[in-house]
């Protein structure tokens, strides 16, 4: 079985081939820009790892794997326009560097390119592969829709929030694993188990993201600290804070959320103080651990070699320890 570093190297060189680039090059420049900066390559790695659980010739899963990475970057491209985000992984977002039209259209081209790559599999897996991917892709849109609708609500429950991030983030992580297993010929059962594991991993991953936006290190994290706070973005921390706040604290939170013209540093400091006072930071870390533990349980039930499970667990450790 390949190591994570070996697989990451394969993903890197496959992307560097830029075989997806066509004419006019200007249509693809923003896609190259998005894909060039690295990122964690979490999703293609998961596809390759899942494939590698069943087969050794992982090079055959490379194109579908980077198809999923291209799809992920397409969703980021459009999300950044919708959120009017200015930084992504420490660099200007596409719609800031170019403009919104470029981000919309190159995003559209990236989505179709993703489909082209994902279908690289044996004919007998094609329909299930495309069906699964369609479902995942639609769930990502549904999650983004809920996310946008939550912006104007202050009564989002923890359950609603967890459901939203499941759709927006976790299903793609789940789908990355399932797709790798599927095209390697895994049983329906194993495909579903890996999908479930990926869903739990994704939840932990997104809560970690929420946590790091407040408690991360800006240079490592690659985004402005407190970006979610200044934009009033619903996060697990904010949802939990509203749930736990007494009346004066709730008024304090609502007051800050209502002040769109507030000094960002001041607002971040004040809301972070509320979070820490309510213990929301510790609760979030505890929830992350709970998702990871549930993930381990699903993983232990999977009937693959212990050695392979160990590699999966290695990735989880990398995720827990991540600062970006």
Binding residues for its own copies, rule: CB under 8 A, are: 22-24, 26-27, 78, 81-82, 100-101, 104-105, 108-109, 111-113, 115-116, 119, 123, 126-127, 130-131, 134, 137-138, 141-142, 144-146, 148-149
Rounded to a whole number of angstroms, the minimum distance from the CB of residue 41 to its own copies is 23
Rounded to a whole number of angstroms, the minimum distance from the CB of residue 156 to its own copies is 14
Q: Half-sphere exposure (CA, 13 Å, Cβ side) for 295?
A: 28
Rounded to a whole number of angstroms, the minimum distance from the CB of residue 47 to its own copies is 19
Closest CA to 155 of 250, 227, 246, 229: 250
**Long-range contacts of the stretch 153-157 (C-beta < 8 A, 24+):** 153/234, 154/242, 154/254, 154/257, 155/242, 156/234, 156/239, 156/242, 157/239, 157/243
Residue 53 has φ and ψ, to the nearest 5°, of: -65, -25
**Which C-beta is closer to its own copies: that of 105 or that of 162?**
105
**Which C-beta is closer to its own copies: that of 22 or that of 279?**
22
Rounded to a whole number of angstroms, the minimum distance from the CB of residue 88 to its own copies is 17
What does the block give as tokens for 84? 């009017």
Q: Which residues pair with 92 in a beta bridge?
A: 87
Residue 87 has φ and ψ, to the nearest 5°, of: -125, 145
What does the block give as tokens for 190? 């194993």
- CA distances to 221, 232, 263, 284, 309 from 249, rounded to whole Å, are 29, 16, 20, 19, 45
Rounded to a whole number of angstroms, the minimum distance from the CB of residue 175 to its own copies is 13
**Which C-beta is closer to its own copies: that of 36 or that of 112?**
112
What does the block give as tokens for 264? 């960002």
**Which C-beta is closer to its own copies: that of 109 or that of 173?**
109
**Which C-beta is closer to its own copies: that of 45 or that of 110?**
110
**Which C-beta is closer to its own copies: that of 127 or that of 260?**
127
Q: How far apart are CA 129 and CA 120, in angstroms?
A: 10
Chain mean position to CA 265:
27
Rounded to a whole number of angstroms, the minimum distance from the CB of residue 129 to its own copies is 10
Rounded to a whole number of angstroms, the minimum distance from the CB of residue 264 to its own copies is 22
**Which C-beta is closer to its own copies: that of 116 or that of 273?**
116
């Amino acid at each position: 079985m390949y190591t994570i570093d070996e697989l990451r190297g394969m993903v890197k060189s496959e992307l560097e081939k830029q075989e997806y680039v066509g004419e006019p090059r200007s249509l693809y420049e923003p896609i190259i820009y998005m894909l060039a900066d690295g990122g964690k390559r979490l999703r293609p790695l998961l596809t390759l790892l899942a494939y590698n659980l069943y087969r050794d010739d992982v090079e055959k899963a490379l194109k579908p794997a980077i198809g999923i990475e291209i799809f992920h970057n397409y969703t980021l491209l459009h999300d950044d326009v919708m959120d009017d985000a200015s930084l992504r992984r420490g660099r200007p977002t596409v719609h800031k560097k170019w403009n919104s039209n470029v981000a919309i259209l190159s995003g559209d081209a990236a989505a179709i390119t993703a489909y082209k790559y994902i279908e690289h599999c044996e004919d007998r897996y094609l329909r299930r592969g495309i069906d699964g991917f369609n479902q995942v892709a639609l769930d990502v849109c549904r999650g983004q829709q809920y996310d946008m609708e939550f912006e104007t609500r202050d009564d989002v429950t923890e359950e609603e929030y967890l459901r939203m991030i499941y759709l927006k983030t976790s299903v793609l992580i789940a789908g990355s694993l399932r797709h790798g297993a599927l095209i390697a010929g895994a049983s329906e059962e194993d495909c579903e188990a890996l999908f479930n594991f990926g869903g739990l991993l994704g939840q932990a991953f997104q809560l970690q993201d929420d946590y790091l936006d407040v408690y991360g290190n800006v240079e490592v994290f690659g985004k402005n600290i407190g970006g979610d706070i200044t934009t009033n973005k619903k996060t697990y921390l904010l949802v939990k804070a509203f749930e736990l706040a007494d009346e004066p604290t709730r008024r304090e939170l609502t007051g800050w959320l209502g002040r769109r013209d507030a000094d960002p540093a001041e607002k971040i400091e004040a809301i972070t103080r509320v979070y820490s006072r309510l213990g929301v930071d510790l609760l979030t870390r505890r929830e992350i651990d709970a998702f990871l533990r549930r993930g381990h349980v699903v993983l232990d039930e999977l009937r693959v070699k212990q050695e392979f499970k160990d590699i999966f667990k290695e990735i989880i450790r990398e995720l827990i320890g991540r600062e970006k």
